């Protein structure tokens, strides 16, 4: 299965989905992190103990934990990266399905494409790196190096022909 698609000067890299059980567990803990402190606060007020500052601290801390878990769960379910380039600029955006990360834009003098090999040698995986000698954007998605090499050949052809 290809983890990328290429349309003119738009590259879309897709994260490999985690097993369903793992994703269900991550979503469960993410939503539980939001719900437990909220329900505890409502129950405490209903019992008559009143509203205390500790409830806000708990809501905030568990909200951060829940948001981080939700972001990881969404990335492992819907994660994809979009890279758009032309002769002088490169735009990068991570998409989590329910929301998108901030778009990063860099200006380039000379665009080049590389593989950053990661993991063990026998795994043969890496990430796509696009940039010049000063600035670069590296993908967070791990892709088999064979697919990255194939993509780089196509990207260099597009860059040379100026399509």
Strand order from edge to edge, sheet including 4-7: 4-7, 10-14, 80-85, 89-95, 104-107
Reference 73, options 121, 15, 158, 125; nearest CA is 15
User: What is the reported pLDDT for 163?
Assistant: 57
Mean pLDDT of 140-149: 87
Question: Does the pLDDT at position 48 exceed 60?
Answer: yes
Task: Dig out the tokens for 104 from the structure.
Answer: 């990063």
DSSP string, 19-83: PHHHHHHHHHHHHHHHHHHHHHHHHHHHHT----HHHHHHHHHHHHHHHHHHHHHHHHHH-EEEE
Q: What is the pLDDT of residues 107-144, one digit of tens each?
A: 877 788 888 888 888 888 888 888 877 788 888 888 88
Residues 74-113 as b/e (b if ≥16 CB within 10 A, e otherwise) read: bbbbebbbbbbbeeeebebebbbeeeeeeeeebebeebeb
Residue 13 near residue 139 (C-beta atoms within 8 A): yes
The pLDDT confidence band at residue 162, using thresholds 50, 70 and 90, is low
Strand-pair partners of 95: 80, 100
pLDDT digits (tens, 9 = 90+) for 70-104: 989 998 888 898 988 877 788 888 888 888 888 88
pTM of the model: 0.77
- The more confidently predicted of residues 45 and 163 is 45
Q: Dump pLDDT digits (tens) for 16-34.
A: 888 999 999 999 999 999 8
């Amino acid at each position: 299965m290809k983890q990328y698609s290429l349309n003119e000067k738009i590259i879309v890299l897709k994260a490999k989905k985690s097993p369903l059980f793992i994703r269900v567990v991550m979503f469960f803990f993410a939503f539980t992190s939001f719900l437990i402190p909220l329900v505890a606060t409502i129950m405490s007020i209903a019992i008559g103990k009143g509203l205390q500052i500790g409830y806000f601290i708990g809501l905030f801390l568990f909200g951060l934990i829940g948001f981080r878990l939700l972001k990881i769960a969404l990335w492992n379910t819907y994660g994809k990266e979009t890279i758009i380039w032309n002769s002088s600029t490169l735009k990068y955006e991570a998409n989590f399905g329910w929301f998108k990360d901030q778009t990063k834009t860099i200006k380039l003098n000379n665009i080049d494409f590389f593989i950053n090999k990661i993991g063990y040698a026998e795994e043969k995986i890496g990430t796509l790196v696009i940039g010049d000698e000063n600035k670069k954007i590296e993908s967070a998605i791990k892709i088999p190096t064979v697919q990255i090499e194939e993509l780089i050949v196509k990207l260099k052809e597009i860059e040379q022909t100026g399509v």
